[in-house]
Amino acid sequence: MAKVNIAKQVIFDDREAKFMTQIHAATSISPELVNRLRAMPKAEIHIHIEGATDAEIFYHMAQRNQVELSADSLEEWKSFFEFRDFPHFIQVYTAAVQCLQTPEDYALMIERFYKRQAEENIRYTEAFLSASFLTQKFEAQEILDAIAAGRRAGEANHHCQVNLIPDIAREIPDSQHRVLEFVIKGKERGLFIGLGVGGLEIGYPPELFTETYAEAHRQGLRIVAHAGEAAGAESIWGAVNTLKAERIGHGIRCLDDPNLVEILRQRQIPLEVSPQSNYCLGIIAQDQPHPIRKMVNARLFCTVNSDDPAMFSTSLTSEYLTLAEQGFSWEELWQLNLNTLEATFLDEAEKDKYRIEWEKFAQSGS
């Protein structure tokens, strides 16, 4: 892996270096801070399993399943996988999902996801699974068996915990009932904890999913929704008031509406902020600081996440490094990490287990 030496002999890997060098030519981050951010126990609540799967894994699945790719070699496929712009991102996502042809592919992808999270010391994760696609392809029981197998292997082999939140692709609204049925079946087997909605935000407002979300509430599912990423504040209003979302995916466009900021602050609704995703997708210009600074100053409940790390060549650690480079202190970054843990859907007893671990790390000063 290529290394980039930016300043003060701090060695960043490709993913960590990519965004920081785009924003500033040099960084003032100390090696101590870099090491501390890498070592700290972390939680993550907004990450898509498909978007966290490396190009190489999809390539091997495609070969095994005889899926034709628009690349003749692994190197070509990896280069295609590199982020370019939003339309290309959709092309990559669609091509990657096409490589998943068997329930075993899902089991493998999920097990590898645990590995990835454990390597970054992400001790607890709530992750999305794109259910509109997989419920088109598979019978519920066979895919639930595969997901259970992937989880068992992940838990046995990697030091981390993952809970899954299947999500509806907004641009396929007809899939919502099928997805809900699938999520309820998976919840009965202890595989899923909630329901989400993602995908193309413009043209597919939260109100299209009102009935499905109401039923999800009745079924005891936890409720989240992407909103206020590509679309404006009205999308967040819909997610909060109509869908009764308990957390908002991204939500950065709330700053457009002071009344909304006030509601989000009063209710302390967690916002799943993913800075590098916003830079990649052009939601925020590369030369601008991320609005999370304004959101934190407005006392909004912000958390930090990596969204689609394999597709954006990022990692959760590099999300924190990006914020460090934009002036966030260790104390502020640690608070964001604490916020992310608090915003999880774990019950208090489960959170306590992690709070003790977090506290131990903070006390160690390492």
CB 106 within 8 A of CB 150: yes
Residue 135, phi then psi, degrees to nearest 5:
-75, -15
CB of 200 to Zn ion, least distance (A): 12
CB of 39 to Zn ion, least distance (A): 26
CB of 280 to Zn ion, least distance (A): 12
50: contact with Zn ion by CB under 5 A: no
Map the footprint of Zn ion across residues 286-345, applying CB under 5 A: 307
Euclidean distance between CA atoms 92 and 97, whole angstroms: 9
Q: Which is nearer to Zn ion, 59 or 301 (CB)?
A: 301
CB of 196 to Zn ion, least distance (A): 8
Residues 6 or more apart in contact with residue 203 via CB below 8 angstroms: 171
x/- string (CB under 5 A) for Zn ion, residues 82-111? ------------------------------
Angle between helices 103-119 and 55-65 (to 10 degrees): 160
Q: Which is nearer to Zn ion, 36 or 170 (CB)?
A: 170
Give how many residues touch Zn ion by CB under 5 A.
1
Q: Which is nearer to Zn ion, 16 or 307 (CB)?
A: 307
CB of 321 to Zn ion, least distance (A): 20
Among 250, 200, 195, 210, which Cα is nearest to 226's?
Answer: 250
Q: Which is nearer to Zn ion, 307 or 319 (CB)?
A: 307
SS (H, E, C) the chain: CCEEECCCCCEEEHHHHHHHHHHCCCCCCCHHHHHHHHHCCEEECCEECHHHCCHHHHHHHHHHHCCCCCCCCHHHHHHHHCCCCHHHHHHHHHHHHHHCCCHHHHHHHHHHHHHHHHHCCEEEEEEEEEHHHHHHHCCHHHHHHHHHHHHHHHHHHCCCEEEEEEEEECCCHHHHHHHHHHHHHHHHCCCECEEEEECCCCCCCHHHHHHHHHHHHHCCCEEEEEECCCCCHHHHHHHHHHCCCCEEEECHHHHHCHHHHHHHHHHCCCEEECHHHHHHCCCCCCCCCCCHHHHHHCCCCEEECCECCCCCCCCHHHHHHHHHHCCCCHHHHHHHHHHHHHCCCCCHHHHHHHHHHHHHHHHHCC
Determine whether 229 is an active site residue: yes
CB of 170 to Zn ion, least distance (A): 11
In the set 111, 126, 229, 246, the catalytic residue is: 229
Q: Which is nearer to Zn ion, 105 or 307 (CB)?
A: 307
CB of 125 to Zn ion, least distance (A): 13
Q: Which is nearer to Zn ion, 29 or 280 (CB)?
A: 280
Q: Which is nearer to Zn ion, 51 or 103 (CB)?
A: 51
In this chain, which residue has its C-beta nearest to Zn ion?
Answer: 307
User: Which residues belong to the active site?
Assistant: 229
Binding residues for Zn ion, per CB under 5 A? Answer: 307
